[in-house]
Amino acid sequence: MDPLTLTEGEPAKAVRLSNAEAEALGSAELAVVTRAPGSDDWFVAAGTKVGVVRVGQLQVSIQPKISIDRLVFLMGYATKPKFWRNHSVLLDVESDLPEALAHAFTRLAGKAVEQGLLQGYKTVDDSLPVLRGRIRVRDQISHRYGIGLPLEVTYDDFTVDIPENQILLATTIRLLRMANLSAPVRQRLQRLRLQLAVVTELGRGDMMPDWQATRLNTRYQPALHLAALILAGDSFEQRVGDLEVSGFVFDMWKIYEDFVSVALREAMTPFGGSASLQHRMYLDEADQVEMRPDFLWTTLDGRRIVVDAKYKAEKPAGFPQADLYQLLAYCTVLGLSEGHLVYAAGNELAVEHAVRGAEVAITCHTLDLDQPPERLLEQVGDLASRLIA
């Protein structure tokens, strides 16, 4: 069966699907699926996720409307702004998102380990017949009940089984589980896994270990930052009806909202003040209706600025009213006379809505995501200046 390629924002395609395939795509929220009138075909359009999924024998590639390298910058900047401001990852922008990420990861990880695996000290708790390190007296008494051997000891081991290598291994395994990768990329991943064979594999559900950037792990850092983005993707395997559904996808709305919140925080910091991301507050006096604006800035003199980021395609009829109602609620609770919406769109003029019967103005701004990273950050800087002013 030929792969199905969908792109964000493009019109729905008429596709011949079985009822089971259509149900699986729709129920898993991987695409918007509707029955074509008077036909056995289905209209299928991209939803809010991007990536690659497999529904039974059907492979569906969901492409972002922006280039893949721009998408990776948005994801990266939201996690490590200082690193991604000054670094970029070469991606094959013609490939599917998982393929492009896997190709870039094998290149960066291969470069990181080509001089040998990084080693470091790791604290180990063990039971040994000889003394090494120091005895854990409490464990010796509680576990051995006075028996002299073995000894419950703690020691520092100089090993390759450190967080940096564990993260590279976890990312390699995550990518190898994807069924849609090309043979050359899969071979490079298998080679990388063999190089990391002496590293402990993390169990399903285990938290990723923390690592700190140091002079010693400089050659690992680009691969580790990209690994963090790959591991943040939603990799899933599930059954919908009689079909196996698997894939690797990202939520575009979350990528965009995270980027706007972090980029605004970085841009507004020089003006003085503090940011609260996903600020928790309540609509009602009984604290039962929770609200979470994406970004709340408090200036040094106590003035507050509320912003919500909305990743939505441009619509000729204007911006959705629900977003305006949401901002009005934020402004009402916070006692503010103005609120701000930041949409993903092209170069459009800001639109201001003065609310009838209330001294509240809601301004809609737009960010052009097709711009190079430096220009995109300049747009955010200009927006920050307007918000502060």
Does residue 8 lie within any of the structural domains? Answer: yes
From the CB of residue 19, how many other CB atoms can be counted at a distance below 10 Å?
11
Q: What is the rounded distance in angstroms from the CA atom of residue 379 to the CA atom of residue 374? A: 9
pLDDT at 177: 87
**CB contact set of 287 (below 8 Å; sequence gap of 6+):** none
Our count of domains for the chain comes to 4
Mean pLDDT computed over 150-179: 87
Does residue 244 lie within any of the structural domains? Answer: no
Class of residue 36 by CB neighbours under 10 A (exposed 0-12, middle 13-18, buried 19+)? middle
Between β-strands 151-159 and 134-135, what pairing exists: parallel, antiparallel or unpaired?
antiparallel
Residue 297 sits in the same domain as residue 350: yes
Nearest C-alpha neighbor of 89 from the set 188, 212, 221: 221
Residue 168 sits in the same domain as residue 213: yes
**CB contact set of 136 (below 8 Å; sequence gap of 6+):** 125, 152, 153, 154
Listed in sequence order, the DSSP H helices in the chain are 19-27, 68-79, 81-86, 97-113, 137-144, 163-176, 183-195, 221-231, 252-268, 321-334, 373-388
Confidence class for position 316, pLDDT limits 50, 70, 90: very low
Which helix H or strand E contains 153, and what residues bound it? strand 151-159
pLDDT at 10: 87
Residue 108: is its pLDDT beyond 90? yes
Residue 348 sits in the same domain as residue 293: yes
Residue 195 sits in the same domain as residue 75: yes
Residue 297: is its pLDDT beyond 70? yes
Q: What is the rounded distance in angstroms from the CA atom of residue 27 to the CA atom of residue 240? A: 8
Residue 74 sits in the same domain as residue 169: yes
Residue 76 sits in the same domain as residue 211: yes
Residue 33 sits in the same domain as residue 85: no
Contact 269, 381 (CB under 8 A): no
| Range with the poorest average pLDDT among 111-115, 154-158, 258-262, 290-294 | 154-158
Does residue 36 lie within any of the structural domains? Answer: yes
Residue 114 sits in the same domain as residue 208: yes
Residue 347: is its pLDDT beyond 50? no
The percentage of residues in the chain with a pLDDT greater than 90, rounded to a whole number, is 45
For residue 205, what is the DSSP state?
T
Does residue 74 lie within any of the structural domains? Answer: yes
Six token digits for residue 355: 């609310």
Residue 167 sits in the same domain as residue 187: yes
- Mean residue pLDDT of the chain comes to 87
Does residue 246 lie within any of the structural domains? Answer: no
Q: What is the rounded distance in angstroms from the CA atom of residue 332 to the CA atom of residue 313? A: 27
Q: 10 lies in which domain range?
A: 4-63
Residue 200: is its pLDDT beyond 80? yes
Residue 276 sits in the same domain as residue 365: yes
CA atoms within 13 A on the CB side of 61: 16
Does residue 241 lie within any of the structural domains? Answer: no
Does residue 72 lie within any of the structural domains? Answer: yes
Mean pLDDT computed over 93-103: 83
pLDDT at 93: 63
Q: What is the rounded distance in angstroms from the CA atom of residue 193 to the CA atom of residue 184? A: 14
Residue 56 sits in the same domain as residue 72: no
Does residue 242 lie within any of the structural domains? Answer: no
pTM higher than the cut 0.85:
no
For residue 67, what is the DSSP state?
-
Residue 288: is its pLDDT beyond 60? yes
Q: What is the rounded distance in angstroms from the CA atom of residue 100 to the CA atom of residue 139? A: 49
Among candidate residues 16, 34, 63, the one where a domain is terminated:
63
Residue 321: is its pLDDT beyond 80? no
Task: Measure CA 8 to chain center.
Answer: 18
How many residues belong to the chain?
Answer: 389
Residue 139 sits in the same domain as residue 179: no
